[in-house]
Amino acid sequence: MDYIYSLFKIFVMLQKTELELENEIDENIIQGLIKKKQRIIDLLKDEEKALFDKGIGIIIDNNACNNCNLTVPSQIIINVKKYDSFQFCPACGSLLIIV
């Protein structure tokens, strides 16, 4: 479970970097990030890949899912921080990660 969560966190960090660089001219860097994200997905088993289906919601400073802006209940945030199990946004179903 820990390695899957770690892979998701790396994936999210790569996604954030990709979004930050979208306005930059160097397409090679963006393509490299896309390839790294694909390698992470390739490491996952089919049932683990299904976790990506509804997206990844990053819990940001205001304790909200960045996909739907729902304020995530505090118990879910605690569970995400403990890494005990995968937690999903009650509104949009995104896998929740704190980066």
Please give the C-alpha separations between residue 78 and each of 47, 59, 74, in angstroms, as whole numbers: 25, 11, 6
pLDDT at residue number 60: 65
- Nearest-angstrom CA–CA distance, 40 and 66: 22
Coil, helix or strand at residue 24: coil
pLDDT at residue number 30: 67
Q: Which two tokens stand for residue 32?
A: 């490299």
Asked if the model's pLDDT at residue 92 lies above 80, the reply is yes
Phi, psi dihedral angles at 23 (to 5 degrees): -85, -10
C-beta neighbour count of 58 within 10 angstroms: 20
Q: How confident is the model at residue 77 (pLDDT cuts 50, 70, 90)?
A: confident
Are residues 41 and 49 in contact, defined by beta-carbon separation less than 8 angstroms? Answer: yes
**For 7-23, what is the mean pLDDT?**
71
pTM across the whole model: 0.56
Beta-bridge partner residues of 95? 56, 88
Are residues 13 and 94 in contact, defined by beta-carbon separation less than 8 angstroms? Answer: no
